[in-house]
Structure 1
């Protein structure tokens, strides 16, 4: 088991495969192991660094809010700790938001970014999902005990008794309003926006994000001369939901097609 003492947190990570480094970031209430079914595809030609984010998996929580920009700073510190030379960063859901924030806050540290199933403003989330998120707190532990998330936490966490605390923190984080429109508009790292066609936000939201990145403004041209100036891309994956995207072979296939392009 490997830990990095960075940015005030003891961050758990695993390294799989060889090749150009790729940091892979999991969703909320999950851990790096949630990618096990599709990990072999990512490790074909890549050294994959799987990270358990603050309070998740084998990384114990610390005394600070569960805020995506702070977690992004953890990843930037891990890049320095491991001496990685401009790795790619791929994240899903919570991890997708973190990947985006690494690109926004630490553009000089990474090569390319893939942000999957992560809206950039709270108001884009369907109202019924916001209502469900409002019920996430320590009182929901009893309802969670039959879920894979609870089972994995009890098996992996350094302090299994912290699960109610994690629910409280995630609930508080999801209740906070956010809008990263202006930050995304200024993105300097080539970024692919990925979503399921039946995600937590409508496909139109992710098209709007792509538009902020100069996407969808004109025909791409025979030689791609009309594509977004920053090298950005958009993928809406068919037949998937927010809860199945991270297991679909379409996810690594699409992400790697973008990451393996020559700069």
Structure 2
């Protein structure tokens, strides 16, 4: 295991058919932090990461085909990415770590709670819907344009710069766009899977996200939330310890940069009463 300039340990894990890059920052109770699409662990700004590492050991993986993790011959499937993280948990011998993810990472975190509830403590799923149809129509139209043909439009973006700097095969960027475009075109509905979810989960969204705030409320309702007054002592809050946060003044594109992302996540994760 090597150490980078920030003092974080860097390594690769051969898990679930993929050579998964990850970093370990800080010490304390483990938290796996999952980035969004077209990003990497570098997506989390230094001040946001510092807030998490102040009292936590943070494991930062680069998901399939992102950052320093080379792509493999399989589609982008969020359930399969969740299996990658489940295998990483086993590889690192972690005891029910908490998992927080943003956007694509939030989708992976939620699926991990669905397919492997015994492996995780609590989950934060930020800016991730559970039905494709909940996404605003104009956003679905934009997503339909994502593919290799849009490389030229991406060349001035931080995502392209980061990929060219750290990816094992920088020439794979068009392939990354093709795979993300194909993944976003797949219809999905996790309603049945989310209903009755055992892992205490914080559903977080921007107040101007890719889906309306009402969709996050809908997810919360599936988790027994928002159906009644919680009681003066909180005894009538959702039975599974779930919670909801709509982050004011943010969008899908900057929620992860808001100090409230870390503050709200940690308030939920560190509240043992919510377990």
TM-score (norm 1): 0.99
Counterpart CA distance in 1 for 2:39 and 2:251 is 17
Alpha-carbon shift at residue 8 of structure 1 (Å): 0.3
Measured against aligned partners, the alpha-carbon deviations of 1:183-203 in whole angstroms (never above 9, x if no partner) come to: 000310000000000000000
Aligned to 1:42, what secondary structure does the other structure show?
A: helix
Which of 150, 161, 181 is the aligned partner of 1:140? 150
Q: Which residue of 118, 121, 140 corresponds with 1:130? A: 140
Q: How does 1:86-97 map to 2 (within 5 A)?
A: 86-97=96-107
**Aligned pair count?**
263
1:56 aligns with 2:57: no
What is the distance in 2 between the residues matched to 1:173 and 1:34?
Answer: 20
Instruction: Give 3-state SS (helix, strand or coil) of 2:182's partner.
Output: helix
Distance 2:258 2:59 in 1: 19
Superposed displacement of residue 43, structure 1: 0.4
**1:12 paired to 2:21:** yes
**Unaligned runs of at least 5 residues, structure 2:** 1-9
Structure 1: gaps (5+ residues): none
Partner of 1:224: 234
Aligned twin of 2:88: 78
C-alpha distance in 2 between matches for 1:93 and 1:16 = 22
Task: Give per-residue Cα distances to partners, 1:88-118, cap 9 Å, x unaligned.
Answer: 0000000000000010000000000000000
The structure 2 residue matched to 1:30, chosen from 39, 43, 50, is: 39
Separation of aligned partners in 1, 2:154 and 2:166 = 16
Between the aligned partners of 2:86 and 2:134, the Cα distance in structure 1 is: 27
Paired with 2:222 and 2:200, the residues of 1 have a C-alpha distance of 13
Once superposed, which parts of structure 1, at least 4 consecutive aligned residues long, lie more than 2 Å away? none
Q: CA deviation at 1:44?
A: 1.2
